[in-house]
Amino acid sequence: MARSNIPLDFPTPDFARVREESGPVTERSMRSLYFAALDTRRRLTRLQQELGWKFQPGQQLKVSIEQKTESHTRVADQSLKMTVQLLVEEKWDVKEVAENGVATIDRSLTRIQLSIRSGVDEEITFDSSQQRSAPGVARTIAEALAPVLGKPVRIQVNPRGAVVDVELGKELKGQLAELAKVLGDFFSPDSIEQQLMTIGRLPAGPVSKGQSWMANVESATALGKLSVARTFTYEGEKNTTDGSVSEIAIAGQLKLIPGTGEKDRTVTLREQQLTGVLRFDAAAGRLLESTEQQKLGIQTAYRELRIQSEVATSTRTTVTLVGP
């Protein structure tokens, strides 16, 4: 009898048990079982989805990040509420794409719109797209921002959406250092990685509905190092007016690691919550939209003072193809 050509790495049925229950196993029955198993394998493969950025040389993307942060701080019998709304618009010029899919991208800041309301001082508003002279604090922001608006920062991003390299020239480093005094270290490697987490981190291979993967990122804050561990879960394909869209749920755990510079201060993370949703166009290889909500409850003890803070942040990120 001829031998059946069944791959060694493919799981085969238990023929001994089949023989006991059904009688002698023939070449024909073995082939039937093999092709039935192969068909099942193909069906399972079709249910999996490949999720990855498909950058193209010459591609231009508009990335918009809208963020609203509401904070409530209490010290003794005093209370302060503050609302900060931020709009950041960027242009991504894809310069080249390596064989492994890693894209070299010039990332330019094209617009910043900022609003700060505290109920104590006058509202601070700033929009870099407006040409009129800005007063007070807004002028300080405008002067710090002017040298870096439209100036590209070269980054390398892999198909999973992870930053693998950031290039900053000497002159730009100095300009960003000045900007950091006003707006924080917006273009530092850690900051860029944190911002790109709103765009999401994709799995290394095909995934099935319900399958999860993780990504961790750390960033420096005024209270210490903030570690965020996100879990992404593929929820399957959703039919929309734009066609089929891959939906990914986000859940996160936050951990605050206090700095060691101030011995008299202790910081405790009393409450934390992070949830969100990513909508990804698998065929185009591009994020459509992500939304994320984050809540923090922080207690700071400094000598005799006890400071209670609640911070709620919502972030919406969209990516639009603008050329070619």
Q: Residue 155: inside a domain, yes or no?
A: yes
Give yes or no for residue 311 having a pLDDT over 50.
yes
**Phi, psi (5° rounding) for residue 203?**
-75, 165
> Residue 33 carries which side chain, given as an amino acid letter?
L
Q: Which helix or strand (DSSP H or E) is residue 8 part of? A: none
In a domain, 6, yes or no: no
pLDDT of res. 269:
87
- The CB density around residue 267, as the number of other CB atoms within 10 Å, is 20
pLDDT grade, residue 260 (50/70/90)? low
The pLDDT confidence band at residue 1, using thresholds 50, 70 and 90, is very low
Q: Which of these, 205, 176, 213, 203, lies nearest to 192 by C-alpha position?
A: 176
Q: Is residue 186 part of a domain?
A: yes
Residues 277 and 206 in one domain: yes
The structure tokens listed for 97 are: 């794409």
Q: In this structure, are 37 and 71 located in the same domain? A: no
* Residue 100 shares a structural domain with residue 155: yes
Question: Minimum mean pLDDT among 147-156, 181-190, 258-267, 298-307: which range?
Answer: 181-190
Give the confidence band of 194 by pLDDT, cuts at 50, 70, 90.
Answer: low
Together in a domain, 155 and 194: yes
| 108 and 80, same domain (yes or no) | yes
Query: Do 220 and 204 meet the contact criterion of CB atoms below 8 Å apart?
Result: no
Relative to beta strand 153-157, strand 103-117 is: antiparallel
At 15, which amino acid appears?
Answer: F
pTM over 0.75: yes
In the chain, how many domains are there?
A: 2
Domain residues for the domain of 140 are 60-323
- Note whether 32 and 64 are same-domain residues: no
134 and 35 fall within a common domain: no
The verdict on residue 51 lying in a domain is no
Domain with 76 in it: what CATH number? 2.30.230
pLDDT of residue 291 exceeding 80, the answer is yes
Q: Give backbone dihedrals phi and psi of 185, rounded to 5 degrees, phi first.
A: -80, 70
Q: What is the pLDDT of residues 201-245, one digit of tens each?
A: 899 899 999 999 999 888 777 777 888 899 999 999 998 887 889
Q: Whole-number mean pLDDT of the chain?
A: 81
Q: Answer yes or no: do 108 and 211 share one domain.
A: yes
Give the per-residue SS3 of 141-185.
HHHHHCCCCCCCEEEEECCCCCEEEEECCHHHHHHHHHHHHHHCC
pLDDT at 10 (0 to 100): 43
Same domain (yes/no): 162, 30: no
Q: Is residue 227 part of a domain?
A: yes
Percent of the chain clearing pLDDT 90 (strictly above): 40
> Does pLDDT of 56 surpass 80?
yes
Spell out a b/e string for 192-206, using b for 16 or more CB atoms within 10 Å of the CB, else e.
Answer: bbbbbbbbbbbbeee
Please check whether residues 71 and 23 belong to one and the same domain. no
100 assigned to some structural domain: yes
Same domain, 233 and 204: yes
Residue 156 lies in a domain: yes
Residues 6+ apart with CB under 8 A from 64: 87, 88, 89, 90, 317, 318, 320
Quick check: is 192 in a domain? Answer: yes
Q: Are residues 214 and 272 in the same domain?
A: yes
